[in-house]
Amino acid sequence: MGLGIDMRHRIAKRAAAEIKNGMIVNLGIGIPSLIPNYVPSTVHVMFHAENGILGLGSSPPLGEEDENVCNAAGYPTTTVQGASYCDSATAFAMIRKGYVDMTILGALEVSEKGDLANWIVPGKRVPGMGGAMELAQKAKKVIVLMNHTSKTGEPKLVKTCSLPLTASGCVGLVITDRAVFKVEKDALLLTELMSPYTVEDILSSTEATVRLSDQLITIP
């Protein structure tokens, strides 16, 4: 089952808290594209998109969309003061050179070692991996936003990824509809619970090794 719109926004709001002043941040397709709506006006950030924008803003009001300004997913967006446009090759060069401080992506699976699988399910047609492989290897920090389980209820936080990897050992933080985890050596550290889920709920729906933080909190 897919996530409802309220939960998608809840995850995006939590992810926005990871963004610090002065960062260049790349946003993936899906939930990450909602994040600009939750960044405080006091935080100056330049959102990067592979299609050639540095300085994405929040979603435009209904009826005020500009058909020539969109994010990497093709959805209407705005730009902030100081934004710039470039071709896709230059946008990718920024990634490969290591100028992106953080990338926030979706995932199909994440392993307890921080391996990321997010670009293909064997046997299914996909448009390609996009910039995921470059971003996962070159961004200074990788955050994953995703459903805690698959549509059939299977864990997506696993001991070892069964799907083709995007990159190994790259993920630093995972935010799901149920919890927040920091990736540590050979385990996921549970730091936050999304109400109304409990520790027992998380342990029963997670295949990866989970350790509990001494400062575990619950997000209302």
- Categorize the per-residue pLDDT at 128 as very low, low, confident or very high, splitting at 50, 70 and 90: low
pTM: 0.93
What single-letter amino acid sits at 3? Answer: L
Q: How far apart are CA 119 and CA 123, in angstroms?
A: 12
Q: How far is CA 73 from CA 51, 127, 187, in A?
A: 9, 12, 32
pLDDT at 1: 47
Q: Which CATH number fits domain 5-218: 3.30.420.10, 2.40.50.100, 3.40.1080.10, 3.90.1150.200?
A: 3.40.1080.10
Residue boundaries of the structural domains of the chain: 5-218
CA-CA distance, 38 to 16, in Å (whole number)?
Answer: 6
The CA distance from 36 to 153, in Å, is: 30
The confidence band for 33, taking pLDDT boundaries of 50, 70 and 90, is confident
- The rounded distance, in Å, linking the Cα atoms of 21 and 107 is 26
Best CA proximity match to 29, nearest among 132, 150, 165:
132
Residue 17 has pLDDT above 90, yes or no: yes
Reduce the DSSP state of residue 25 to 3 states and report it: strand
Which position has the higher pLDDT, 205 or 124? Answer: 205
Planar angle of CA 21, 32, 181, nearest 5 degrees:
80
Catalytic residues: 50
Whole-angstrom Cα distance, residue 183 to residue 26? 20
